[in-house]
Structure 1
Amino acid sequence: MRTPSAALALRQARLHLLEHGQCLPGAIDERLARSWRRSMAAGLQPTTRMGTCDNASGGRLRQILASNHELLAHSRPVMEYLFEQVRHSQSVVVLADQRGTLMHTLGDPNFVGRAERVALACGASWHEEHRGTNAIGTALAEGSGVEIHGAEHFLERNGFLTCAAAPIMSATGTLMGILDISGDQRSGHPHTLGLVSTAARMIENRLLVASHRRSLRLHLHSRPEGIGSVAEGIVVLSGDGWIVGANRQALSMLHLGPQDMGATLLERALDVRLDDLLARQKRRPQLAVQVHATDGTALFVQLYMDAGVQSVVASDSAPQRVDASHRPAAADALAKLDTGDLRWRSAADKARRVVDKPIALLIQGESGVGKELFARATHDSGARRAGPFVAINCAALPEHLIEAELFGYAPGAFTGAKREGSKGRLREAHGGTLFLDEIGDMPLALQTRLLRVLQERSVTPVGAGTPVPVDFALVCATHCKLREAVDAGQFRSDLYYRINGLTLILPALRERTDFQTLTERLLSTLAPERPLHVVPALLARLSQHPWPGNLRQYASVLRTSMAMLDAHEDAIDWQHLPDDVTQDLQEPLPSVASAPEPTQAAYEPQNLQALSQLAIRQTLQNCRGNVSQAARSLGISRQTLYRKMNA
């Protein structure tokens, strides 16, 4: 509870902020003052009445829940335990994603009604820019545990609440979500924040262990009895002794930061080598070993690994440094792409379950997220890997050629046809995998023919009367929302259900939790003969960039930056970036509304085709080469845009 003097100070600080745009120095906690200033900068006022425009719709909420499946699965048991501790205290336990959208709630029935009236329900966004100062949004902004009580909330309508929230962090230091307890301000308790913080650590540990069961893990504590408790440190190791992940307790014990993941050998943090630990583990597997941190602190450690990891470690007669992906021991093609993001890994695990079954895969995600790369890795991870992988971009094929390209044609089927005819891409995929990229842009007439092929498992070439049997695994990909296209009559519903055996959604680059490891992988792929890295400060800024072109755009930026390095340099820094990227990272992107009006000189071409090409070039430049975004801006389909670009 706040004292009368504290309440008076809050009122005075709020009035001064509203009148002068800043808080009186020292009048309130600086963290609270920062949050109030952010709330005002977002255009909010204490009396703002919130609408529902910031709430996730049913479809969007389902997508959020699906992409956070692992976080939800490991959080629910902890939330249930947490709720038992606060039951009958006029409270609700809340889990939000990394953007502040509420995903799961458990509440006291007597309090839920009031909570829902201020949108404390699933689907609502409690980001600061939508709800002002609040424990969830402010914990997101500050990256640490926060308690917001009564009038400390920026919006007056939330003043009846007292809220405590703590972040849930990944093993590589990325924020995954927020755990919160919100209740009636009259029943606030000084220990609530500590309770929530402990529960968040429990979730972090459960996630870390579950996602690294196939990795070497080092559990440590200052007492041997502390190993296995919520206070233990957990370190994830590569097969040759590099620290590639850790919980917050371990980072504190070893005096490391998230930036050290993938760049620190175990022996630089502890006075022991991995080989020595493995030897001791073999002799006395149940005994914790005493070691010392770099500051001399004594710690007890115990090594955990499954049989698959043991065999891999045992076979390493000449260890070499591996990247920080700590991928599963079953090193199939999908595992080789795994750099630690839980959403990506979940999609890969699902793909493995159906790869050799007659189930079509539908891969969804923004342009540039690596859908074709994922599809090819799925093919290479299955029994058909010795067969062909035939990739077709349905949006890039000229409309008048797409039918002959896909289905093939008989000799002399039309003017200009090859004398010997053509098998067509569908028949080329026989015995392997057919990958149809951007299937959402396939013309409706071709959708009908494709559906018949999938139903009958045979192809009838153009100009021929005899069908030819085909056998291939089907993987499709699209950036479009096909369900909405079906509702709009732009995509056949029967074809949609035929290709949608299993839908996988690949995360955008800005949503991934493995940015550092992914960067290391890209650099090693682009320059395998030259060990390069990005300086930590720049890497942190790059990880916050929205990357509308996703991996394709980021790889291009890294490739250009590498070309700017001198022969003796091995670190990419600000001066190596292209100028437009540097400007984007240092300044907020201008909004469409504030874009300058084009000058008369921009319209010098006077014929329609020249004007069309000019508009396309300018739009592509504004969208930084993102064809999907450019097509949406121009109000045409990707297929039409490709056709006009090639005209």
Structure 2
Amino acid sequence: MQTETDHMREIVSLARGGRLSSARDTRVLDSWIRCIDRHGLDPTRRREARILTARELRRHQQRSEELISIARSGIDTLYKLVAGQDYVLMLADAQGVTVDYLGQDQHKAALRRSGLFLGAEWTEAHAGTCAIGACIEAGEPLIVHQSDHFDVTHGALSCTAAPIYDSAGKLCAVLDISLLSPPRPRESQLLALNLVRQTVRRIELANLMAESRGDWVLRLASSPDFLDVDPEAALALDAGGHIKGMTHGAARLMARTLGGDWRRGEDLIGRHVSEAFALDFPMLEGLTRHTAARERVLETRDGHRLFCHAIEPRRQPPLRPRPVQLPALPAALRPLAGDDPQITRLLGRAAALAGTSQPVLIEGPPGSGKTTLARALHEAGPAGPCICVACESFEEGEAAVLFGREDRRRFEPGLLARAEGGTVIFENLPELPQRLQGRLLKLLTEGLYRPVGALRERPARTRILVTVSGDPEAAVDAGQLRRDLFLRLMGQRLTLPGLHARRDMLALAEQAFARAFGRRVVLEDDALAALAGHDWPGNLQELTQLARHLAQNLAPTPPRNPLQARPAPDEGPALITAGDLPWPLPEGPADPEAQQAILARHLSETGWNISETARRLEVDRSTIHRRIRRYGLRRH
């Protein structure tokens, strides 16, 4: 095993033009020279891993989100193959930043220290010779094993990487598989190299297929047996037979045939397929799956025989009719609406029930707004009083409070009679005593109730709305809620999701903050990400409390530091960043719900100006259009 001193002497000898006593990969030696001549690195200096901040990492991930989505399946499959062997998988972008990562939690601290972690930078300029950095420079798969690394910081690691090229032939990412404590022989990583190369080939093929649904695709292999399941190369053709895209294997094949440089893949785009292959465009029909694989032979212009599978362009499906718009919501329900399709559908159902006398069951987690929705249902219906009943405050013998008391001389009305012509809301119905639940069932079934002590029943002209926290079926199973009562209610059932599951959560947050501050509030992107990443166990109630807390602590006094809410001198909108929130910003990138909410907010603020939105989010216009389609956003 080479000592640190011997390793440094070897690098110094190379720098001085001396000969090396040990055989190393020439790409490793080229990287050493770059580290010395181009980057001015010192092999005797230990460099700590550089881990990007959450904001910096988000920018890199947003630029690579399409690739990450496509590559994830291949990475997961590869990780399963090496599970239990302590390998770490990293997907780095073309700037050498790890944008996706899989590793074992028990080694998390050691992996972070060594840089085998999400958000780590692995450029040669920072980390010296390493598999990711050298792979970006060389454009080829390679192993950087232990002392192959430029400095002693990473001398115990073994890193194996392969480049991922986009369909235009440009290196866009690197897939790396690394070990903290590998076996000494470099040959121990040859299997890892083959697995990484195979995974990258499949990722590139999946990317090409996803981009070329309306084009001809030629899949190529040296064996007919693997042509359909694991081709070695593929390229996409437009309707005239010109090359629109390719995998890296196809780029190398065509560059060799045409005598070009495979590193300049962009020079191959637009060339006619017949320049590289003995193929007339009308011949493609004979290379489809209608012909046996062994008969689908294609020859390159330099005489290399391959088997080919030609895939026809997919026909575009007919345009879907625009979805039927829900009827306009009653004024009382409009403040509850947002951009969440689930909530929009729920409020549409609520609007249909508002004008009826049917009882309604509203369920959802604590604090999700069940009573608020019940009150809005009442206000959207016929006029009359509205009384809320806290079911947990009742005892078995208090039927008179609800149903009243009557003897020969007089009638003492209960809450039902006082709400005549209006609504009674039973909050958290399973908390109501069983005997009172039985009386309520008779009321819902027959429209009659009997006051305590009365000989005759009275008709009820009162609408009943009930709320249940959590799952009503679970309350039935636990004996808290009568099954017959639940079955009577379940026909008209509205289910509110938790706040974290709502796609309009950030719009609700802005509304809550505006009410608490008494003016419009602007949330910075880091605050939006923090709010979207919070679990919200208390749901809307917790959000309201947070808004009041911020208003009390930030609004009355001038800002003490740049992270606090900063109202303008003319009492303009209050600005809130993540530093103002009582809990820290979660590590890592915003989840898809957060990214969707942030995009929707910027689109709204810019009046759906795609260019301005792209500038704000530091991405290109095509990325904005893809995200709009992915999230199903529509301009209102």
Give the TM-score category using the shorter length: 0.3 to 0.5
Provide the TM-score with structure 2 as the length reference: 0.47
* TM-score after normalising by structure 1: 0.46
Larger-Rg structure: 2
